[in-house]
């Protein structure tokens, strides 16, 4: 009996010792050590979801970034502000530009000695400052982010005053060089604060070397559990597929593939490229909740209308224009967040970025189409894509009657939707139009004879 009692006592002590290890809170760490963009947004979104599943009490954003894309930074700061548990940030050296906006959205800011936060003005890819309309938007969201933490009472010079938890004016000075903060920055420079300056101006709750030190010393929790989000290969792949640069390339491939497919008989490589590009374009957007089925349907309808206009309906009118409008609208709408037909959370900046991505890509695809069209079959890597030589005229196995028609004039016997029939000297010949759609009875001239076809152009 005595031995049994001792065994039970040992088991109880062991159980209590095990429970003591997890007596404190559960903390969850999400690391963002890259430029702010689709990949970092994927990390944060998946990390917050996993933190909820693990029932974490506090989420730590472990941040070291020089900035990135404003639209993704806005999505990240919105997710942090709307999260139902506290989100703290540990700035492990740098929180510049978009990183500063994300940091200010967090409930508490901690920094490493030698860290910096600020320099949040909007710049382009070459580092040049963007026009004031972009700065105005950034000033607004960084100011409202600081204001979202509300006001507190502090004792200054023996008096208790009510003030902002984080001064919106300081946040705005990170964007606007014309704001003067006495003792911190004059009205000629963009504000960037060191860790100690951030503490003195209530933009940092303390300076520590790592998250464990913050939990033990600042949060007074020595019996805690720290979990960490581990990105997967698919997280990185999804982030890469959501890149605006890749979106632009995929749009160029979609449009270019459709164009070249319409210029060649049968179904071939160009259509395959267009389909693969469309899948790579829509799949991550659909999974991420940006694009919905009806947006893909709009694009498909637009493509069908364009093809009907080219191959079936004479002229180019309402059907073709409607197809182009639907194609462009579908591509733009798929890049901005929405729920069903509601676009309430969409900001002007997100809309501008989506429109610029699509329109620039369409201009680029047009230039690419012109360039490739002039190179196919002639030189470089495009030399062997199409036949560039005709069969020698001395070859007896092929009738040379059509060769003698080059330079002659005739009239279209049928409507030429790229191809049809022409009447030359009372004889009917199959022909391809180099002038696009031609009505019946239009005078044409034979430009060349190649691969068994007459190529004609409107006189």
User: In this predicted structure, what is the pLDDT of residue 281?
Assistant: 76
- With cut-offs at 50, 70 and 90, classify the pLDDT of residue 186: confident
User: In this predicted structure, what is the pLDDT of residue 430?
Assistant: 83
- Report the percent of the chain where pLDDT is more than 70: 78
Residue 217: pLDDT above 90?
yes
Q: How many CB atoms lie within 10 A of CB 162?
A: 8
Report pTM: 0.63
The residue with greater pLDDT, 13 or 412, is: 412
Which ranges in 54-209 belong to alpha helices (H)? 70-82, 98-105, 132-147, 168-173, 195-200
CA distance 25 to 223: 8
Q: Which range (304-318, 371-385, 409-423) has the least confidence?
A: 371-385
Average pLDDT on 5-18 reads: 50
User: In this predicted structure, what is the pLDDT of residue 183?
Assistant: 84
Residue 318: pLDDT above 90?
no
Residue 2: pLDDT above 70?
no
CA distance 313 to 305: 10
Average pLDDT on 137-151 reads: 93
User: In this predicted structure, what is the pLDDT of residue 193?
Assistant: 95
Residue 26: pLDDT above 90?
yes
The residue with greater pLDDT, 393 or 284, is: 284
pLDDT tens column, 39-81: 898 899 999 999 999 999 999 999 999 998 888 898 899 999 9
Q: Kindly report the length of the chain.
A: 459
Q: Which range (161-175, 214-228, 292-306) has the least confidence?
A: 292-306
Locate 255 and state its tokens: 């449009």
Cα radius of gyration rounded to whole Å, the chain: 32
User: In this predicted structure, what is the pLDDT of residue 215?
Assistant: 95
pLDDT tens column, 75-132: 899 999 999 999 999 999 999 999 999 999 999 999 999 999 999 988 876 678 888 8
CA distance 450 to 386: 12
Locate 305 and state its tokens: 């209308």
Residue 266: pLDDT above 60?
no
CA distance 239 to 281: 12
Q: Which of 306, 248, 298, 302 is nearest to 277 (CA)?
A: 248
Contact predicate 98/69, CB 8 Å: yes
Element (H, E) at 186: none
User: In this predicted structure, what is the pLDDT of residue 356?
Assistant: 78
Residue 202: pLDDT above 90?
yes
Q: How many CB atoms lie within 10 A of CB 213?
A: 15
Query: Which letter, b or e, does each residue of 60-90 get, where b requires 16 or more Cβ atoms within 10 Å of its Cβ?
Result: bbbbbbebbbbbbbbbbbbbbeebeeebbbb
Residue 153: pLDDT above 80?
yes
- With cut-offs at 50, 70 and 90, classify the pLDDT of residue 389: low
Three-class SS of 247-259: HHHHHHHHHHHHH
User: In this predicted structure, what is the pLDDT of residue 394?
Assistant: 47
Query: Which letter, b or e, does each residue of 219-248 get, where b requires 16 or more Cβ atoms within 10 Å of its Cβ?
Result: bebeebbbbebeeeeebeebbebbbbeebb
Locate 207 and state its tokens: 């300076």
Residue 274: pLDDT above 50?
yes
The string of DSSP codes covering 300-343 is HHHHHHHHHHHHTSSSSSHHHHHHHHHHHHHHHHTTS--BTTB-
- Report the percent of the chain where pLDDT is more than 90: 32
User: In this predicted structure, what is the pLDDT of residue 108?
Assistant: 96
Strand partners, 108: 88
The residue with greater pLDDT, 85 or 335, is: 85
Q: How many CB atoms lie within 10 A of CB 15?
A: 10
Query: Which letter, b or e, does each residue of 121-151 get, where b requires 16 or more Cβ atoms within 10 Å of its Cβ?
Result: bbeeeeeeeeeeebbebbbebbbebbeebee
Largest distance between two CA atoms of the chain: 121
- With cut-offs at 50, 70 and 90, classify the pLDDT of residue 270: confident
Average pLDDT on 226-235 reads: 88
Q: How many CB atoms lie within 10 A of CB 325?
A: 13
């Amino acid at each position: 009996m005595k031995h049994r009692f001792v065994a039970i006592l040992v088991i109880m002590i062991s159980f209590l010792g095990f429970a003591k290890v997890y007596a404190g809170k559960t903390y969850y760490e999400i690391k963002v050590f890259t430029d702010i963009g689709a990949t970092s947004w994927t990390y944060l979104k998946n990390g917050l979801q996993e933190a909820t599943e693990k029932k974490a009490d506090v989420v730590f954003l472990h941040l070291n970034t020089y900035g990135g894309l404003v639209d993704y930074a806005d999505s990240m700061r919105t997710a942090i502000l709307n999260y139902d548990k506290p989100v703290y940030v540990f700035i492990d050296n740098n929180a510049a530009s978009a990183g500063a906006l994300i940091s200010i959205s967090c409930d508490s800011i901690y920094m490493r000695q030698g860290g910096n936060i600020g320099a949040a003005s909007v710049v382009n890819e070459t580092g040049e400052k963007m026009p004031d309309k972009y700065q105005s938007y950034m000033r607004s969201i960084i100011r409202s982010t600081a204001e979202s933490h509300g006001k507190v009472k502090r004792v200054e010079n023996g008096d208790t005053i009510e003030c902002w938890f984080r001064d919106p004016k300081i946040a705005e000075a990170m964007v606007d060089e014309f704001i003067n903060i006495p003792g911190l920055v004059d009205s000629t420079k963009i504000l960037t604060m060191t860790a100690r300056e951030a503490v003195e101006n209530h933009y940092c709750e303390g300076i520590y070397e790592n998250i464990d030190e913050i939990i033990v010393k600042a949060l007074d929790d020595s019996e805690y559990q720290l979990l960490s989000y581990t990105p997967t290969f698919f997280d990185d792949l999804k982030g890469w597929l959501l890149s605006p640069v890749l979106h632009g390339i995929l749009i160029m491939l979609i449009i270019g593939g459709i164009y070249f497919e319409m210029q060649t008989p049968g179904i071939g490589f160009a259509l395959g490229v267009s389909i693969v590009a469309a899948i790579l374009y829509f799949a991550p957007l659909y999974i991420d909740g940006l694009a919905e089925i009806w947006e893909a349907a709009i694009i498909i309808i637009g493509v069908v209308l364009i093809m009907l206009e080219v191959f079936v309906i004479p002229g180019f009118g309402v059907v073709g224009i409607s197809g182009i409008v639907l194609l462009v609208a579908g591509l733009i709408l798929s890049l901005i967040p929405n729920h069903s037909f509601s676009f309430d959370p969409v900001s002007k900046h997100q809309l501008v970025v989506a429109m610029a991505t699509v329109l620039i890509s369409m201009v680029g695809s047009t230039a690419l189409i012109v360039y490739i069209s002039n190179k196919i079959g002639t030189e470089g890597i495009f030399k062997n894509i199409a036949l560039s030589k005709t069969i020698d005229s001395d070859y007896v196995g092929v009738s040379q009657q059509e060769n003698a028609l080059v330079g002659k004039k005739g009239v279209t016997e049928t409507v030429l939707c790229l191809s049809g029939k022409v009447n030359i000297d009372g004889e009917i010949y199959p022909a391809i139009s180099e002038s696009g759609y031609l009505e019946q009875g239009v005078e044409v001239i034979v430009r060349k004879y190649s691969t068994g076809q007459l190529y004609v152009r409107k006189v």
